Amino acid sequence: MLRFAIVGCGHIAKKHAAGIEAIEHAKLVAVCDTDQQRINHFLKDGVKGYTRYQDLLADPTVDVVCICLPTGLHADFTIQAAEAGKHVIVEKPMALRLSDADEMIDACKKNGVKLAVVHPNRFRPAIKKLRSRIEAGAFGKIGHANATVRWNRNDAYFAQAPWRGTKAMDGGVLMNQAIHNMDLLLWMMGDAEEVTTYAATRIRKIETEDTSVSVIRFKNGALGVLEAAITLYPRNLEESLSIFGETGTAIIGGSTANWIKTWKFADLSDAEVEQDIQEVENDPFGIPGHQCIIQDMIDAILEGREPIVSGIEGRHVLQLVIACQQSAEKQRPIRLDVIE
């Protein structure tokens, strides 16, 4: 039985609590927030509430800390947890700077604790199928890939929490929303070499960008296009991930990228294609991604291995986000190997 604590009892904390509750060998034992009312929502079945993080870290019954705080606090809280000997599941993005990500990874390594970053979309059934087609080499040589995030985060969303939309605590549409899709692009396509990004704050009254388009060149020579916006009228429209190769075409899409829209492979018969599509249709959401990340942390601890979405993986996509931001700011292409 592994005992979990949640730090930051806001919106995403509920998914962590639900994930922990759904796992037989996991138990929520404590929560922490500076707001007592938010703590109160989680106090049941002997869960302890702390308003001071130091008190939670001193609690010997806590094995794993789930960090669900405004992004700008992730690094400091992760490092403190590692130094207290707690394993860490940190929400995405793991940090806003690569130097912070490095310090988080180092602190966890030095203290012999695991670090997982919450990129739950990797566990979607359609995305897992796409990844297994990539692993099987079913696309042949890949020409290009495309990711779109056409969502709506309206004024009410930004009014809910003052840290949202700020440079110091959040980052914009790339850092907060499209980072999920960028993680999937890297997972499917391999390392990126260079990016060119345009970004703008077109409609929302926020400090960071609400609209962004990027062109990516991957190390394998393939190209990628990323369109990301949180300005769609009147609500979320679609999210998609497409891969185009010499012997395969795949588009995963829908209002969220959970459904197979196009699935054509030289090595699959029509019946096999239909079977893949049907399997996803039967269970498009699968086991909730947060639950998968929590289960994977338990397995990683028991098996003495790294979590699937480790700190290194979280750093990997953070580097791509920062390269895109720098490209937009400097108005020129940016190579990833110069990002620190």
Ligand X SMILES: NC(=O)c1ccc[n+]([C@@H]2O[C@H](COP(=O)([O-])OP(=O)(O)OC[C@H]3O[C@@H](n4cnc5c(N)ncnc54)[C@H](O)[C@@H]3O)[C@@H](O)[C@H]2O)c1
Site of interaction with ligand X (CB under 6 A): 7-13, 32-35, 38, 53, 68-71, 73, 91-92, 118, 120, 161, 176
How far apart are alpha carbons 83 and 182 in whole angstroms?
30
Comparing CB distances to ligand X, the nearer of 10 and 284 is 10
Q: Are 298 and 26 in contact (CB under 8 A)?
A: yes
Q: How far is the CB of 116 from ligand X (least distance, A)?
A: 12
Q: How far is the CB of 8 from ligand X (least distance, A)?
A: 3
Comparing CB distances to ligand X, the nearer of 121 and 139 is 121
Q: How far is the CB of 166 from ligand X (least distance, A)?
A: 12
Residue nearest to ligand X (CB): 10
Comparing CB distances to ligand X, the nearer of 68 and 222 is 68
Comparing CB distances to ligand X, the nearer of 161 and 232 is 161
Comparing CB distances to ligand X, the nearer of 78 and 176 is 176
Q: How far is the CB of 11 from ligand X (least distance, A)?
A: 4
Q: Are 252 and 127 in contact (CB under 8 A)?
A: yes
Q: How far is the CB of 73 from ligand X (least distance, A)?
A: 6
Angle (CA) 247-249-254 rounded to 5° is: 165
Ranges of H-type helices in the chain: 13-22, 36-40, 53-57, 74-83, 98-110, 125-135, 155-160, 173, 179-189, 270-282, 289-303, 311-330
Residue type, 287: I
Comparing CB distances to ligand X, the nearer of 7 and 147 is 7
Q: How far is the CB of 70 from ligand X (least distance, A)?
A: 6
Of 175, 184, 186, whose CA–CA distance to 228 is shortest? 175
The structure tokens 């994930």 sit at 19
Positive/negative CA dihedral, 161, 226, 151, 117: negative
Tokens of 157: 């969303």
